[in-house]
Structure 1
Amino acid sequence: MAVCCDLEVDVNGEESFMVDKQKIISSYSGRLSKLFGKSTGGTRTLKVIFNDFPGGAEGFELMLRFCYNNGRIDINPSNLSLLYSAAKFMEMSSDFPSTTRPNLLEQTEKSLQQIGYWTWSELLVTLKQCQDLSNSSSIVEKCMDSLIGRMALSSESSPCPSTSSQDSSGTFRVSCDSRSTESLKTCFVRGTWWFEEISGLSLSFIEMLIKAMASKKFDHGTISKFLFYYQKSKCYSTSGGEKVKTIEVVIDLLHILDWSSIPCKSLFGLLRVALSLNVSKCSRKKVENMIGSQLDQATLDNLLIPSPHGANSLYDVNLVLRFLKSFLQGGIYSIRLKKVASLMDMYIAEVAPDPSLKPSKFLALAMALPDSARDSYNEMYRAIDMYLEVNFSVVVKVAAEVLGL
């Protein structure tokens, strides 16, 4: 018997569908049932416009198949997120009391319980679909949890002896017992095989995933390596505004990690990119604080950052002073402090010949560290000699002004 189509549905302006509103689709959808009530609508064809239907025409068509097949449809990882979001949007759940027909939301949730048997590719496909769906947060959370678990257990495919476990607190632990350099190298490659594939997710999903990884005590060193990989790969393929947003999100995510797990050299590279893109002051300050916390790991080349455009001096002395301030705020430890003092002596000697370096800035560098930081002032004296040799007239002028001469 032919089906009477008395309802036209415009889905997001993409496509229009002719359906039977009373006998079929309304009996499954609480949204449409409430919209039409008990009216038959006569012989006139009604029209409904959905401007925000999740999954667009594809999602609506999948939902129609469920309705026209009496609640029978193959639900799999490639369509589960679309069907779930459509069911939520159309109110096709057990909360819809006017029917005893199968409800789509319940079936998708039941299928989602099998997520432990999905392949890595199926998880990624589902997660990428969810990027364009506004009401799929529960699927996103389950997919991300499964992905994180598999990344943490990735050492199972490594040739080196390893053990992996997840304790009651949700902490993932992976150990590699082999001390062979080659085996350790292979372990590292195995442990980071997911970098490229995960990079295909949107920036907002990357942010959600990293925060979830951090909350589950995933290795912070591995997380930081991924974030630098992601930042570099995205900066090659995005425009200026998108680059800035990417850098700022990466900085925010690095900031929530254990700073000691982040390579100092990589932070300097990130800072140089951030400075060139003129990211927000808040983001720059976060990078500066992270660098300052491990300034004893820096090299002289790291510190020789050119001054901002328009400044007279060759190097950004103010930036180095901010590094020192952050370092000292973290507490003074003799061995680390002496390493920083040695680094600063080399830095001061490098910037001393700059004729544009103001005496106040030179003095600030010389006095930034406490007396206990140095066993000898020989290097400092040499730097002072170099500075006076180049800037003697300036120093004399300043002294005269101070003394009122």
Structure 2
Amino acid sequence: MAVCCDLEVDVNGEETFMVDKKVLASYCGRLSKLFGKSIGSARNLKVIFNDFPGGAENFELLSRFCYNNGRIDITPSNISFLYSGSQFMEMNNSVSGTHNLLEETEKSLKGMNYWAWSELLITIKQCQDLLPFPNSSGSLEKCVDSLIGRMTTSSEPSPCPSTSSPDSSGVRFSCDTRSTESLKNSSSRATWWFEDLLILSTNLVEMVIKSMVLRKFDHAIISRFLFYYQKSKCYTGTPDEKRNVVETVIDMLYILDWNSVSFKSLFGILRVALNLNIRKCSRTKLESMIGSQMDQATLDNMLIPSPYGMNYLYNVNLVLRFLKAFLHGGISQTSPTQLRKVASLMDLYIAEVAPDPCLKVSKFLALIMALPDSARDSYDGIYRATDMYLQVHTGLSEEEKIKIYCALNYEKLSVEARNHLSQNKRFPSKGAVQALMSQQVKLKSLVKATDKTKCYIDSPSGALEIGNKGKKNEASEQSVLYAGKLDSPTNNEKLRAHLQGMQWRVTELEKICLKMQTQMTKIKKSRVSSQSTPRSLPKLCS
């Protein structure tokens, strides 16, 4: 009998099939509706499918079903193709009414819980091969549910090696009773599926992880799998494939409980991500997760090289973003212990980056002032780092130096640090005066005045009191101390005007003191020459 080929079918541009339109239309509702009464006509027709699930391979499979009087063996290796193809072609009815391919595949999918683990893997692998064609997710969702159901039972033994590969022979899961040495502890029982799920694409991993989260799967186990998946997939592959894997893993880690995510592993994925130029949103998520646990970081973690093309040594901007994420929840939600740990780490980091000749003043100050003052009990570490910075950056202007020393909290410097600062020529002279004044304020209660004689001088700024111990006037002392507490980044003009006014007053005071000393010297000489009885004179400050 001659074979009738009166229908030409173009499948996704991959291949063209010549088939009998009457045979296919008897099982495919989509073709039956398309042809209508013209099924029996003698003229040839052509149909073009641009989104046929499974492509030419699946169309050929469905054609065999139609040419074989509606009979075909449904197995884990073809059920995904048959299910999606029967949905697309509307094969839920036939002439005889007894061969409903869509109903038969749905019935087979209901028995999925009794399949072997290897059969599940075969099916889920084929499901992802069908993506992103429409109507292909029905069997995929069923596979994912069954897959997670197997993994949630932590005491369930791992499939034997022969069933852990999609290409292995199908053995019923209920018969997989072999055990290995790796199943002797609970950890191996909880992670036995890691290697098998490496076959999943990033789209499918995202689907599986979200489903696991909804089913209250252990977040620590999920995060371990994601890191394992990332390392395995990034070992080979193109830069685009690696970038896709890293972005997917970061996005999935972000929806977990961050306390269950390994901080060390986060830094591992960060170093990979920095070389891949991942999406900004994924990068921000990763930085937020790292920043939230920054009290667990070490100096080695923080010393991340600067991006390619930048002349400074370390990625200071990245560390500043970590600090911002760390403080994002507010100081009230951060324990004092955590703050002190991060402050100690930052003292070490600042000292490490200070010698970088390309580090700008603005970035150096941002590192110092990123944490609140309450985070540090001592500013000695910051002072040492600042001293190193000034030693390397010899070309700074006076204004820049003033900004730097104003960032120091002098009340939290040790006596040794203050003494060193008072003699440190790299600091502006005003900084040394300020340090000395702060030290005098602290020691004021311990020093007993031995001479209470004072002199009063009429100056342009008003009556200024001069002490007999070589101190500057009290009003100037308060001005200097006040200047040190100004917030230089936001009050530059105010600070500059204040310091200029203070300098003017001190200069005028020194001129008046010099005149008085000259006058007193002349008086003493004249009295000695006249052999008059000497009288006690008030002591003057130098």
Which of the five TM-score ranges fits, normalised by the shorter chain? 0.7 to 0.9
Equivalent position SS for 1:48: strand
Distance in 1 between residues matched to 2:334 and 2:9, nearest whole Å:
69
Partner of 1:63: 62
TM-score by length of 1: 0.84
Partner of 1:243: 242
| 1:144 CA displacement | 0.7
Partner of 1:120: 117
Residues 339-371 of structure 1: CA distance to partner in whole angstroms, max 9, x if unpaired? 111211211221222233223322222222223
Point out the more displaced range, 393-402 or 313-322. Answer: 393-402
Partner of 1:358: 360
Structure 1 residue aligned with 2:105, among 105, 108, 128? Answer: 108
Aligned-residue sequence identity (percent) comes to: 67
**What amino acid is aligned across from residue 276 of structure 1 in structure 2?**
N
Contact residue 302 and residue 349 of structure 2 kept, 8 A: yes
Distance in 2 between residues matched to 1:40 and 1:306, nearest whole Å:
71
Point out the more displaced range, 306-315 or 44-53. Answer: 44-53
**What amino acid is aligned across from residue 108 of structure 2 in structure 1?**
S
Unaligned runs of 5+ in 1: 159-181
Equivalent position SS for 1:277: coil
Partner of 2:203: 204
Equivalent position SS for 1:9: strand
Residues 341 and 2 of structure 1: is their aligned pair in 2 closer, same or farther, counting only changes over 3 Å? same
1:206-285 alignment, distance < 5 Å:
206-285=205-284
Partner of 2:380: 378
Equivalent position SS for 1:394: coil
Q: RCO higher in 1 or 2 (8 Å CA, sep ≥ 6)? A: 1
Contact residue 157 and residue 183 of structure 2 kept, 8 A: no
TM-score by length of 2: 0.64
Partner of 1:309: 308
Q: Count residues with an aligned counterpart.
A: 379
Distance in 1 between residues matched to 2:302 and 2:402, nearest whole Å:
33
Distance in 2 between residues matched to 1:184 and 1:265, nearest whole Å:
26
Residues 47-87 of structure 1: CA distance to partner in whole angstroms, max 9, x if unpaired? 43434332233322332333334333221211111111111
Residues 40 and 258 of structure 1: is their aligned pair in 2 closer, same or farther, counting only changes over 3 Å? closer
Residues 58 and 233 of structure 1: is their aligned pair in 2 closer, same or farther, counting only changes over 3 Å? same
Residues 253-307 of structure 1: CA distance to partner in whole angstroms, max 9, x if unpaired? 1111111211112111222222212222222211111110000111110001122
Residues 368 and 7 of structure 1: is their aligned pair in 2 closer, same or farther, counting only changes over 3 Å? closer
Distance in 2 between residues matched to 1:54 and 1:292, nearest whole Å:
44
Residues 351 and 86 of structure 1: is their aligned pair in 2 closer, same or farther, counting only changes over 3 Å? same
Equivalent position SS for 1:67: helix
Unaligned runs of 5+ in 2: 159-180, 404-491, 501-542
Distance in 2 between residues matched to 1:237 and 1:283, nearest whole Å:
21
Equivalent position SS for 2:370: coil
Distance in 1 between residues matched to 2:184 and 2:313, nearest whole Å:
41
Distance in 1 between residues matched to 2:75 and 2:193, nearest whole Å:
23
Residues 320 and 40 of structure 1: is their aligned pair in 2 closer, same or farther, counting only changes over 3 Å? closer
Residues 381 and 185 of structure 1: is their aligned pair in 2 closer, same or farther, counting only changes over 3 Å? farther
Equivalent position SS for 2:287: helix
| 1:400 CA displacement | 7.3
| 1:186 CA displacement | 3.8
Equivalent position SS for 1:257: coil
| 1:21 CA displacement | 2.5
Partner of 2:129: 132
Distance in 1 between residues matched to 2:279 and 2:225, nearest whole Å:
22
Larger radius of gyration: 2
| 1:115 CA displacement | 0.6
- Cα RMSD (Å) of the superposition? 2.7
Partner of 2:155: 155
Residues 307 and 12 of structure 1: is their aligned pair in 2 closer, same or farther, counting only changes over 3 Å? closer
Equivalent position SS for 1:132: helix
Residues 69 and 315 of structure 1: is their aligned pair in 2 closer, same or farther, counting only changes over 3 Å? same
| 1:191 CA displacement | 2.3
Distance in 2 between residues matched to 1:39 and 1:101, nearest whole Å:
24
**What amino acid is aligned across from residue 336 of structure 2 in structure 1?**
S
Contact residue 183 and residue 189 of structure 2 kept, 8 A: no
Distance in 2 between residues matched to 1:320 and 1:40, nearest whole Å:
71
Point out the more displaced range, 183-192 or 311-320. Answer: 183-192
Point out the more displaced range, 361-370 or 388-397. Answer: 388-397
Residues 395 and 324 of structure 1: is their aligned pair in 2 closer, same or farther, counting only changes over 3 Å? farther
Contact residue 295 and residue 327 of structure 1 kept, 8 A: yes
Contact residue 182 and residue 188 of structure 2 kept, 8 A: no
| 1:397 CA displacement | 5.8
Equivalent position SS for 1:36: helix
| 1:11 CA displacement | 3.6
Contact residue 388 and residue 395 of structure 1 kept, 8 A: no
